[in-house]
Structure 1
């Protein structure tokens, strides 16, 4: 059997790396608010009082919220198929190597959530990745059909239940009832003045607030179908130029759906119902629209975007680096700006940090085959000096 090594630059599907690089910007846009203030416990995505800050929040809410982690999930699914096909081609056990990959991501996620930032997604990716293994060998058509059922049906049923509650008593779905001033104040105090141990305890509290048994099914239903759609897209050859007509059709359909659901809290009352529709249906719809439009532009205009592709090649390293930089800027053991900056300042920071990451990634990959964390993960998976 041939050795199963990680994919080198000449073998990579470059459009996937460009999309990963693009997703890093959107993820940082969404996460920045949680880095510099206790957004986790706020009831509304738009809470600023000044017009400029509200405009920034509305922009992020409409064009980034709930659309870039799904993009990462979509690309994770596509990448998993590549991993599977290479293992099969080389005659190796896919299950063994892929399980080691997921375990590696789980360990990195535990360290990330415990020691750096509570908003880690890698733990969920690793756990749901084991469930995803059941479906990975399915055909593209079967994956797509079941992914859409899993994504749409539960959320439609949940929306109907919320609609019934809203019609019976509109005030019962007021988001203001579900914020926690006590949790907000505690977060402000700990992250502004606490020592590393106290901040670690708060990180674990914040992580458990989202990642608990009650939310487990919702996390699975939001991440697993995007894994499946990404896998289906790759198996259909969706990242190649022959799919231009399908990209256009998908962009129109998903763009229209995103316009309806993402903007719902703005043309209807903001409530738990409209927030749910915005996040659960509007977010993924915008994800697929972004992918379709990006593919159209990349192939239509032959954009190379080498620096952004470099950032995408090191997407895991850059994702973790964003957390390290931002927690150092805002937490008390760093520069201590938690709760002290505006949304506009946060937006400028996003552009600056992302720009630095793109620049450094471009320099890094001129001399290196893998990002630093990617290199460690591949060492763990393959136990080879060549990895």
Structure 2
């Protein structure tokens, strides 16, 4: 059996790294509002008083919300297939090494959620990754067909229930404009003035608010099918062959679905039903549109985009760095600007932080083969007591 090691630079797929780099921009764009105010407990994604801030919120809501974490998930699924194929090629145990990878992600995610930021996604990826292993040997066609069923069917059923509730009593699906005032006020007080221990307790409260058992099934049904779609796309050759016709068809269909469902709160009204469809169907549809268009552009113009590619190579490190920087900017043990900035200021910070990450990543990967957190994770995965 050949030694099983991390992918060498020359063997990496540039399109995957570029898309990962692009996804980091979208993730920061979406997360910024949650970093600097208690949006977790607000009912609407567009809540600012000033037109300039509302315009920015609407832009993010339409073009980024619920579309970039799915993009991260899609690429995670594709990366898992690469991991599987390399283990098989080397005659090594995929289950052993991949389980170690998921356990490592779980540990990193738990530290991230408890001590840096409540919005961690790594713990979910790790847990759902174990479920995903069941489907990994499926064919590309079987993967995407089942992924669409898992993604669409439960959300259609939920939407029908909400529609009937709306038909019976429209007011029953109205959003509570003020959100949960008690939770909002508590978040403001703790993140603005609390001790590190109090902030940690609030982080865990916020994390549990989203990651409770009742929401667990919905998290699986939203993340798992994106893993499967990413795996299917890789098996179909999307990232290492020219699939222009498939990309065009996917871009057209997913773009049309995104235009319909993403805009529902604006065509109709913003309520529980339209918000659900916007996030659960419109968000992933826009993800597939972004992937398809991105691959078409990269294939046509053969773009290298080295700085963004470098950012994607260190996607795990950069994802965690975004949380570290922003919590130091906004939380009480840092500069304490929580609840104090506008959406315009937040957008400017996104541009600055992401720009710095792109520059630093480009410099870093000229000297080092892996990002710092990626290096630690690989040490854990490939460590062995055997001689």
TM-score (norm 1): 0.98
Q: CA deviation at 1:175?
A: 1.3
Q: What is the correspondence of 1:252-271 to structure 2 with a 5 Å cutoff?
A: 252-271=252-271
Pair 1:82 & 2:79 matched: no
- Which residue in 1 is equivalent to 2:109? 109
- For the Cα contact (< 8 Å) 1:4–1:382, is it kept in 2? yes
* Residues 135-146 of structure 1: pairs in structure 2 closer than 5 A: 135-146=135-146
Kindly state the Cα deviation for residue 240 of structure 1 after the two structures are TM-superposed: 3.4
Equivalences for 1:62-73 in 2 at 5 Å? 62-73=62-73
Does structure 2 conserve the Cα–Cα contact (< 8 Å) formed by 1:241 and 1:299?
no
Deviates more, 1:289-298 or 1:235-244: 235-244
Identify unmatched segments of 5+ residues in structure 2. Answer: none
Q: 1:11 to 1:384 in 2, by over 3 A?
A: farther
Secondary structure of 2:136's counterpart equals coil
Between the aligned partners of 1:274 and 1:347, the Cα distance in structure 2 is: 26
What is the CA–CA distance in structure 2 between the aligned matches of 1:254 and 1:236, rounded to whole Å? 18
* Alignment partners' CA distance in 1, 2:297 and 2:143: 26
Instruction: Give the drift of 1:242.
Output: 2.6
- Corresponding position of 1:336: 336
Give CA deviations for 1:246-271 in whole Å, capped at 9, x if unaligned.
10111011001000000100110100
Which residue does the alignment assign to 1:211?
A: 211
Output one character per residue of 1:318-363: Cα deviation in whole Å (capped at 9) or x when no partner: 0000000000000000000000000000000000000000000000
User: What SS does the corresponding residue of 2:185 show, helix, strand or coil?
Assistant: helix
Instruction: Please tell me whether the aligned partners of residues 44 and 177 of structure 2 are also in contact (alpha carbons under 8 angstroms).
Output: no
Residue aligning to 2:53: 53
**TM-score, normalising length from structure 2?**
0.98
Match of 2:20 in 1: 20
| Range with greater deviation from structure 2 (2-11 or 235-244) | 235-244
Q: CA deviation at 1:241?
A: 4.1
How far did residue 8 of structure 1 move?
Answer: 1.2
User: Residues 32-80 of structure 1: CA distance to partner in whole angstroms, max 9, x if unpaired?
Assistant: 0000000000000000010100000000000000000000000000000
Structure-to-structure mapping, 1:312-351, within 5 angstroms: 312-351=312-351
Query: 1:200 aligned to 2:236?
Result: no
Q: How many residues align?
A: 385
Q: Which residue of 1 aligns with 2:354?
A: 354
| Counterpart Cα distance in 2 of 1:13 and 1:384 | 27
- Superposed CA offset, 1:243-296 (max 9, x none): 101101110110010000001001101000000000000000000000000001
1:310 corresponds in structure 2 to 310
2-side partners of 1:281 and 1:86: how far apart?
A: 33
Post-superposition CA distance 1:68-96 (Å, at most 9, x none): 00000000000000000000000000000
Per-residue deviation, 1:302: 1.4
Q: What is the 5 A alignment of 1:219-230?
A: 219-230=219-230
Please give the secondary structure, in 2, of the residue aligned with 1:103: helix
Aligned-residue CA RMSD (Å) = 1.0
Alpha-carbon distance change, 73 to 281 in structure 1, aligned in 2, over 3 angstroms: same
8 Å contact 1:251–1:290 — kept in the other structure? Answer: yes
Q: Where has structure 1 moved over 4 Å in runs of 4 or more?
A: none
Structure-1 separation of matches of 2:159 and 2:360: 44
Measure the CA separation in 2 of the matches of 1:317 and 1:178.
36
| Secondary structure, aligned partner of 2:274 | helix
Structure 1 residue 303, shift from structure 2 partner: 1.1
2:66 match: secondary structure: coil
